[in-house]
Structure 1
Amino acid sequence: MDNYGFVKFQRALVNWEWYTEVNTCKLFFHCLLKVNYSTKKWQGITIKAGEFVTSLEKLAIETGLSVSKVRTALKKLESTQDVFVVTTMKHSKIRIADKHLENLITKSDLQKLDKLNSMPNNKQMANPSQANSKQIATTKNNKELKIENRIKRFKDQVYENTQYEKLILNSFFYYWSELGPDQTMRFENEKFWELKKRLAKWNANQKPSKTKKLTPKFNSNR
């Protein structure tokens, strides 16, 4: 897992059923911080966005909870489908429910926010040089606004495809909307672009392998 990026939360989270249950809430937040935001390989294992490999013992060490408290908290989160423990013959993974994945902010998100937040704000005009400076700032602001509008338009086009899971739409949008040095999104540099075909292919490539959902078991090798 890369240690950059942010996690955002809506204020409505205070109404979440496990918010006042200290151990469960703490473990859930820890899981949100640990999951991958994009598909990666680890020791031959494909770990998709929203997943991470761990063990009861490792979670206990990382959170300061006892193994039994970690186990109990996981069962509670599973019972409400906030997380899923997926096991295979070789490893075990914790997966965050799709409804929570919108809390993740990726590195590309951060770069976009940095670009939009770095716009100059020249309000005072005491002399011609300041007027000139404001004109330049206005031009840049207009350019940034166009970028923001293009990103929003593309996002709307992607998320109207509600037949796909939120996780698929998130990863597709974050990847193809990444801005290049020339301030164009990745998909805008494609010679041929058909969103629906690209999205269908992305969905096919991101489909998880068939796994068996069992009572939480963990591989202590990681």
Structure 2
Amino acid sequence: MIRLENISQSFKHHSSKIKILNHVDLVIQQGSWVSIVGPSGSGKSTLLKIMTGLLKPDTGTVYYRDLDLYRMGEREKSDFRRRHIGFVFQDFKLLPYYSVLDNVILPLYYDKKKQELYEKAKMLLLSLGIQEPLFSRLPNDLSGGEKQRVAFARALIADPDVLVCDEPTGNLDRENRDHMIEILRSFNQQGKTMILVTHDMEVAAYSNCIYLLKDGLLLPNEVNV
């Protein structure tokens, strides 16, 4: 279970402060799929960063089960993220001079034997529809849909408890978007927790709960799935 209590965040703009998040509370049950929607600039990505230990809030606490994320040291938080949280971003964040395989194994590069990681990476890529001829290619030689699948494989390499996705289908055509939805559904059906930021209500509709982030407030909207 993930619990956010009293999360507030402001940013300086010239001589004034702009409040992005205003005393946000949120509980995410283990194995659920939560989607967060809202207009551009509403703070969705900021909330994800706070939720995953990448940005300390002005006020509030983030708990993973009973662990207070912001009482951890930086190294401890980094290790926790690597082992328990998988990230998928709209712009993929693949390293341009690393091959597909090397991009996938990066989160665990120093934790396990390289050959073992390569074998696991190959299995993940094949399961996501990336065939062996692409394994040695650089990201710039891939299509948008292929890059996104590589990004998913990298997110899954550590078998995380939680998958955090920031607009994961935003750069995809409809066919590739629908394929990504099936990947997300499969991950969730394995009992994994999913947190998704999206502008696409068709994608959000597959979740257990949809929250609207607007004017610094997080407003719940339960949906049936």
Both proteins in one fold, TM over 0.5: no
Q: Which has the higher helix share?
A: 1
Larger radius of gyration: 1
Q: Which has the higher strand share?
A: 2
TM-score by structure 1 length? 0.28
TM-score by structure 2 length? 0.28
